[in-house]
């Protein structure tokens, strides 16, 4: 019985100390105003697809944004300088082969070969650039072979 009494006294004193702490300390005010960026519900209609699933859009202030549709909704972030330099180096590693009215693209990645097919009428900017570079490369290779 003495043990239960001791436990009860200790619990009551701890509860009293907690109550005293909460009443004597003023609530801390958050001096920083946290503003979340506005929720993005859709990709703007005039956005340009730069690579499969990625879109680039310039707002009225001239700021460039990158959009991506994910399983959790649309995300956006400001474009970083040099972002497309890395992409352009990847474009040089991509091959394109015509297959009727479509083009088959292949790129080696750390996870294996990535292949996708697009109709010639549905190519985005990046794919058009890859296709043009591939055609130029093929025509240059043909001229070199003819000279020999």
Q: What is the total residue count of the chain? A: 148
pLDDT confidence tier of residue 19, bands split at 50, 70 and 90: low
Q: In what order do the strands lie in the sheet with 112-119?
A: 95-99, 102-109, 112-119
Q: What is the pTM of this model?
A: 0.38
* pLDDT tens column, 103-132: 999 998 889 999 999 999 999 988 898 999
pLDDT at 101: 93
Alpha-carbon gap, residue 109 to 111, rounded angstroms:
5
């Amino acid at each position: 019985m003495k043990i239960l009494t001791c436990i009860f006294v200790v619990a009551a004193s701890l509860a009293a100390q907690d109550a005293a702490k909460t009443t004597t300390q003023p609530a801390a005010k958050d001096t920083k105003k946290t503003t979340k960026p506005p929720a993005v519900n859709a990709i703007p209609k005039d956005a340009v697809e730069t690579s499969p699933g990625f879109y680039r859009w310039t707002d009225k202030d001239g700021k460039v944004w990158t959009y991506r549709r994910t399983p959790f909704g649309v995300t956006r972030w400001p474009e970083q300088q040099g972002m497309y330099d890395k992409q352009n180096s990847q474009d040089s590693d991509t091959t394109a082969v015509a297959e009727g009215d479509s083009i088959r693209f292949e790129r080696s990645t750390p996870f294996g070969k990535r292949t996708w097919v697009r109709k010639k009428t549905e190519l985005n900017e990046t794919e058009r650039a890859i296709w043009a570079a591939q055609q130029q490369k093929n025509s240059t290779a043909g001229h070199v072979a003819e000279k020999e």
